[in-house]
Amino acid sequence: MYSADPIIYVVHDFLSNDECEEFINIAKKIGPEDINNYRVNHDASNLLHETSKRLSILVQTPIRNAEKYLVTTFNEQTIPTETIDSLNPETQSKLMKKDSGGQRLLSLMGALSEKDSSEVTFSELDLNIKLQIGEILVLHNCYEGSISPNPKSKYTIRSTNKSVSWYLKLIFRERLIK
């Protein structure tokens, strides 16, 4: 465990090499390689369907509460931007509606290619976490037991090498996404 506020931990060797390759191959089929963000369905293949179930069990939240996977490419030239995945209930009311699944409670992130290819930085915590291939970082976006965003969950992802790095993110909402 890296932090208790917000809760941040890494599960080592969660994804197999086959699973990592499957995410990359499916993303490449979705669009041209000059695009760097791909939305992948939980059941895009039998292997990813099984992976989705395992991730759901890991965080004890139904996979139907999860947004589509975001598979992203980074390289050394990619300009990192600070991100907070939770929604501000006052300004993003459309996204908070019941049909949209409500608040974004959990973010799961993982490196899909290149050893030591991705680093997640939490500036509010002065914390840098290097992700190895197959590792999953779990981040609780809100204060424990609430849907109030935790400002300390703000992070930046960057590539740590010159080649293209593939990265995965899965966000779980508080309710079923319709």
- The stretch 55-83 carries a mean pLDDT of 91
Segment 86-96 mean pLDDT: 72
- pLDDT given for residue 99 in this prediction: 62
Closest CA to 69 of 115, 28, 29, 37: 37
pLDDT value of residue 97: 63
> Comparing C-alpha atoms, which of 72, 75, 97 is closest to residue 83?
72
Region 100-119 average pLDDT: 86
Residues 135 and 113 sit within 8 Å (Cβ to Cβ): no
Sign (positive or negative) of CA dihedral 32, 34, 35, 36: positive
Say whether pLDDT at 6 is over 60.
yes
Report which of residues 32 and 60 the model is more confident about: 60
Domains of the chain: 3-173 (2.60.120.620)
Average pLDDT over residues 124-139: 96
Give the pLDDT confidence score for residue 94 in this predicted structure: 60
CA distances to 11, 56, 152, 158 from 161, in Å: 22, 31, 26, 9
Residues 6+ apart with CB under 8 A from 45: 22, 26
- The mean per-residue pLDDT over the stretch 40-68 comes to 97
The fraction of the chain above a pLDDT of 90, given in percent, is 70
Convert the pLDDT of each residue in 15-50 to its tens digit: 999 999 999 999 999 876 666 889 999 999 999 999
